[in-house]
């Protein structure tokens, strides 16, 4: 993946392959316009310098006029050199699990281990064959039970912890999105958590490198975990560890 060092980047890029450009055109149809309104890119300091002159005079008064007194609370804070705390907006947690030979089997394993620690998981699987195979896997996983799930169009979807969706689902901040597509998921930054499972297949691995770079550019700083040997108790049960 772009920008990674050592063992994290190497499994996702073969020797001699060139990097793609950073333009957004390769994200194709799933990249919406207002994709990242949630991510804070810094305070809009430039706006104070672009007020029209008349508005500045209304705000600051005519030249030579006495300044309006500050409210007592604001005055005390300024005198003490304190600033009002600014509430920061949360950033989506992004996690990559890579190195598996079987993407669907790894997804079923991760879902079985981690669904109890999350309120709701939406699995985005736009390919019908992938969605069908994952559905079957979850009915027999674990071997002595099953993992509760249903399709997004099911009448039980609102009460089911794992939803398999073939089209984008309206995001919620307390929902985890598991992306099994090779595209940038729509409105990913509106989810509380995003998980990507990447196989060793070049058709999956190379687009994943571009998404990893894009998430990092948006300030998400993805975590990455090699699961070539499978999930263990440390990174599999809760699914929140990895780096």
In a domain, 121, yes or no: yes
Q: pLDDT tens for the chain, 243 residues: list them.
A: 544 444 444 445 444 444 444 444 444 444 444 444 444 444 444 444 443 343 444 444 455 555 555 455 545 544 555 554 444 568 899 999 999 999 999 999 999 999 988 889 999 999 999 999 999 999 998 888 889 999 999 999 999 999 999 998 888 889 999 999 999 998 999 999 999 999 999 999 999 999 999 999 999 999 999 999 988 765 554 444 433
| Domain shared by 222 and 105, yes or no | yes
| Domain shared by 65 and 97, yes or no | no
Number of independent structural domains in the chain: 2
3-state secondary structure the chain: CCCCCHHHHHHHCCCCCCCCCCCHHHHHHHCCCCCCCCCCCCCCHHHHHCCCHHHHHHHHCCCCCCCCCCCHHHHHHHHCCCCCCCCCCCCCEEEEEEEECCHHHHHHHHHHHHHHHCCCEEEECCCHHHHHHHHHHHHCCCCCCCCCCEECCCCCHHHCCEEEECCCCCCCCCCEEEECCCCCCCCHHHCCEEEEEEECCHHHHHHHHHHHHHHHHCCCCCEEEECCCCCCCCCCCCCCCCC
In a domain, 241, yes or no: no
| Domain shared by 136 and 200, yes or no | yes
pLDDT computed for residue 182 by the predictor: 95
| Domain shared by 109 and 220, yes or no | yes
| Domain shared by 75 and 104, yes or no | no
In a domain, 172, yes or no: yes
| Domain shared by 152 and 198, yes or no | yes
């Amino acid at each position: 993946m772009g920008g990674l060092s050592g063992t994290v980047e190497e499994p996702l890029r073969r020797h001699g392959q060139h990097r793609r450009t950073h333009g957004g055109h390769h994200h194709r149809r799933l990249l919406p316009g207002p994709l990242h309104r949630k991510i804070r890119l810094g305070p809009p300091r430039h706006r104070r310098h672009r007020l029209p002159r008349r508005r500045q005079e209304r705000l600051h008064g005519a030249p030579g006029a006495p300044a309006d007194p500050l409210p007592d609370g604001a005055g005390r804070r300024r005198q003490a050199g304190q600033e009002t705390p600014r509430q920061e907006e949360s950033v989506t947690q992004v996690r990559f699990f890579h190195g598996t030979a079987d993407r669907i089997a790894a997804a079923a394993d991760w879902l079985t281990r981690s669904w109890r620690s999350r309120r709701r998981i939406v699995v985005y699987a736009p390919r019908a064959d992938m969605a069908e195979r994952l559905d079957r896997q979850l009915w027999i996983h674990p071997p002595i039970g099953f993992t509760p799930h249903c399709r997004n169009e099911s009448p039980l979807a609102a009460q089911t912890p794992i939803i398999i969706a073939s089209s984008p689902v309206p995001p919620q901040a307390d929902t985890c999105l598991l992306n099994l597509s090779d595209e940038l998921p729509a409105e990913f930054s509106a989810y509380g958590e995003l998980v990507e499972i990447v196989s060793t297949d070049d058709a999956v691995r190379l687009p994943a490198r571009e998404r990893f770079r894009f998430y990092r550019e948006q300030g998400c700083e993805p975590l990455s975990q090699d699961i070539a040997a499978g999930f263990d108790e440390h990174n599999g049960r809760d699914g929140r560890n990895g780096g």
